Every structure is written in structure tokens, then in C-alpha cells.
């Protein structure tokens, strides 16, 4: 399955450091990792949250194994296209082992 993830520059730097193989651990106070199901929603989060907060935001596309992600339920968190998975932070390492690729698809700046 193809998913998307809005990230700030610090997160992107850690992903690059991993050779584009994994997402970094969640910070204290971030119990959930939330990949989103469509590019439109990822870009909206980036423009409305990451750019005003950090001055720059990025959208990543990645592929996760279908057999792994089917264990999670899609969450609708607003409009019809506001769809995401909620991955508990303690499961992120296992999540990362099921990623086939991660790539940068867009960058937004102030």
C-alpha cells in the first residue's frame, strides 16, 4: 500500500540518515505515528502545520507491506479525505521493517 507522511526538516534529516529506510522514533508526548492515505491530506498538513511552525515542510510517499498494514484500522479525522492510520509509537520499529521505500515528493516553504 502507498501511504504519505508530512514531516519537518529535522524528521527528514533523520530519514535521510537512515538511507531512506525508516521513520525516526516518536518524541516524548507523541504516542501515535500517523501515516495518511492520500497526498492531498499530507500536503494540507504540511502547508497548515509544518510550514507555519518550522518554515518548511515536506511530504513523503512510502510503500508498506499490505499484510502488515491490514492489521490497523483507517481513521477518519475530519473531512472525507482526512484518512490516516494510528500506529502506536511502540510498534514503529516493526512498522519500519515493513517499509519497501520512502521518497520525497514535495516541499513547501514560507
- Taking residues 63-76, report their average pLDDT: 97
The pLDDT of residue 78 is above 90: no
Prediction pTM value: 0.94
At residue 79, the pLDDT reads: 83
HEC secondary structure over the chain: CEEEEEECHHHHHHHHHCCCCCCCCCCCCCCEECCECCHHHHHHHHHHHHHHHHCEEEEEEEEECHHHHCCCCEEECCCCCCEEECEEHHHHHHHHHCEEEEEEEEEEEC
Options 3.40.50, 3.10.350, 3.20.170, 3.30.160; CATH for 2-23+33-109 is: 3.20.170
> What is the percent of the chain where pLDDT is above 90?
94
Tell me the pLDDT of the chain averaged across its residues: 96
pLDDT score of 2 more than 90? yes
Amino acid at each position: 500500500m502507498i501511504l504519505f507522511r508530512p514531516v519537518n526538516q529535522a524528521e527528514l534529516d533523520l530519514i535521510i540518515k537512515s538511507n531512506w529506510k525508516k521513520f525516526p522514533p516518536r518524541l516524548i508526548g507523541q504516542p501515535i505515528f500517523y501515516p495518511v492515505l492520500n497526498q492531498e491530506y499530507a500536503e494540507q498538513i504540511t502547508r497548515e502545520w509544518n510550514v507555519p511552525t518550522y518554515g518548511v515542510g515536506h511530504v513523503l510517499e512510502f510503500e508498506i507491506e499490505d499484510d502488515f498494514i491490514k492489521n490497523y484500522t483507517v481513521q477518519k479525522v475530519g473531512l472525507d479525505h482526512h484518512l490516516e492510520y494510528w500506529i502506536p509509537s511502540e510498534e514503529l520499529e516493526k512498522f519500519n521493517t515493513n517499509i519497501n521505500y520512502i521518497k520525497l515528493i514535495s516541499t513547501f516553504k514560507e
